[in-house]
Chains A and B, each alone.
Chain A
């Protein structure tokens, strides 16, 4: 059974159709990259998957259940998690608290009024592990707004991992990073356990080809083509769409 399945998703913003009848299916354990020029509707499609916006029509199934009308938080409890293209953290809280809050999101006791949150030893121990894995442990007491952009970006990707999701949705994880930082992210995503299914939006072709088994090209809200990395690399249409609209694609073709 597919882990995630969408059926003819349409999203209209006024007169603009941002997503036009998108159907796709992702098997457990797959690593899929969603590529396409700016404005292709990739982020909008993610927002439909995670519930930030409701599609104008079409349905989303996750683990065999129709979740089209589920709330954002309910989907997270079902095992979805996402990162955002535009960094979306808790800027006035410390790195540690950011991670603790992320860990607490799907755990029991998040309505607990009696215990001191910062003294939750179990949570702090997991947070330490997570922060060490992304090399942010030394910065744990820093306020997030004072971090460098690259560090914030790492935290952005660490937060969805806190819920140990079955489906991880990454929206341009390496957006705005230096090549070195970007390859660090690439290896981190590649090192995720085989149980985590990854659907990732990316422009950075090193990231795409370094992580994905299957690549889907979105163009004006529709799937323009789809295939393995080799097929995509060789595909003439991909080159045209990318070269025609966006010159700054990095990576080798």
Chain B
């Protein structure tokens, strides 16, 4: 499989200064240019496009974060989950409930508390998930783990329906106000765009650092050969468990941003229908390219938008059809193809 792993595993500090310099220049054009370019584009975009477009871009960024968070677990750790919305919804509900029921209006405080809450939920669910059902080396059958991840989302969404006084029951919570950033500053729809941009950019950077850290490479090793990792001295259980929590927290962050974005949170935000989105983002984007799910989020929100205009009743069909077509045409995901293309472009230019 051609992927950016191969790119990333190039020896960093080989002898031969020239080769290293050329490599550094190449990696600069490979990563720095697109990253800065896209960043700038997002920053100036609202000046040139109508608000409904910047609102779509806000959603792309949130979904991109959601997809990346699942990919941390799945693409790097090799742990697939069909219930990632459990964290997305937990983050969103926690934020909404704290504002509306507990009166915690400050955005930052609310964010931190919601993420802590999501981490606790992930830590609790992770114990049966990894200790009882198990995935990877020593697991009886990974299907049980997958079924458990589905069950977690369904369980939490049923709880959201049942705990009506807190959660608003089946209609969910609505009326989440614009974020209050402190010092009397409240975002509007157009400034929220920038808030999301900053938070998502920081999160993407953090996740990038995580997957390239010592910890991140241990996850890759576990993905590739968990038994060997154990033989080499790694407590693989702890890595899997903590990556589940980390992925949960980033997924919860996407949920918090989503709750403020739409002002509402409904039980389906915890359930399969939302988990499917993360799943789609990773499959379409590619599990082997870091930024793949971000690309997929652009596609997802774009297609969703056009489908909602032209074929509103056909959305699930389109969603599935794009998935099938991508798997057939680009089995490694869009991210891999885009990366290949970009490598060709930069090689041509150099």
By a beta-carbon cutoff of 8 Å, the part of chain A in contact with chain B is 50, 52, 71-73, 76-77, 81-82, 84, 88-94, 96-97, 100-102, 104-106, 109-121, 124, 140-141, 143, 159-160, 162-163
Which chain A residues border B8 with CB–CB below 8 Å? 118
Partner of B230, one of A73, A90, A94, A116: A73
| Other-chain contact of B215, A81, A113, A119, A141 (Cβ < 8 Å) | A113
B236 lies within 8 A of A73 (CB): yes
Contacts of B213 in A (CB 8 A): 112-117
Give min CB distance, B132 to chain A, whole Å. 18
User: Chain B contacts of A124 at CB under 8 A?
Assistant: 11-13
Instruction: Evaluate contact between A73 and B233: CB separation under 8 angstroms.
Output: yes
State whether the Cβ of B80 lies closer than 8 Å to any Cβ in chain A.
no
Query: Are A92 and B215 in touch, CB under 8 angstroms?
Result: no
Does B347 have its Cβ within 8 Å of any Cβ on chain A? no
Q: Which of B209, B221, B228, B231 has a CB less than 8 Å from the CB of A114? A: B209
Indicate if the CB atoms of B225 and A112 lie closer than 8 Å: no
Asked if B5 and A111 make an inter-chain contact with CB atoms under 8 angstroms apart, the answer reads no
Judge if B344 is at the interface, Cβ distance under 8 Å: no
Contact of B13 among A84, A121, A162 (CB under 8 A): A121
A88-B228, A112-B214, A117-B217 known; A73 and B13 CB under 8 Å? no
Residues of B within 8 A of A143 (CB): 6, 9
State in angstroms the CA–CA spacing of A81 and B233 once bound together.
Answer: 9
Interface size for B (C-beta < 8 A) is 33
A93 near B5: Cβ-Cβ < 8 Å: yes
A24 to B161, CA, bound (A): 62
Chain B residues within an 8 Å CB radius of A97: 9, 217, 220
Across the interface, do B217 and A73 meet the contact criterion of CB distance under 8 Å? no
B216 at the interface (CB under 8 A from A): yes
- CB proximity of B248 to chain A, nearest CB, Å: 16
Q: Which residue from chain A places its CB closest to the CB of B13 in the assembled complex?
A: A124
Contacts of A121 in B (CB 8 A): 13
Do B216 and A90 touch (CB < 8 A)? no
**A85 → chain B, closest Cβ, in Å?**
13
Known: A73-B230, A113-B209, A115-B213. 5 other contacts (CB 8 A): A76-B232, A92-B1, A105-B233, A106-B233, A141-B11
Contact B5 A92 (CB under 8 A): yes
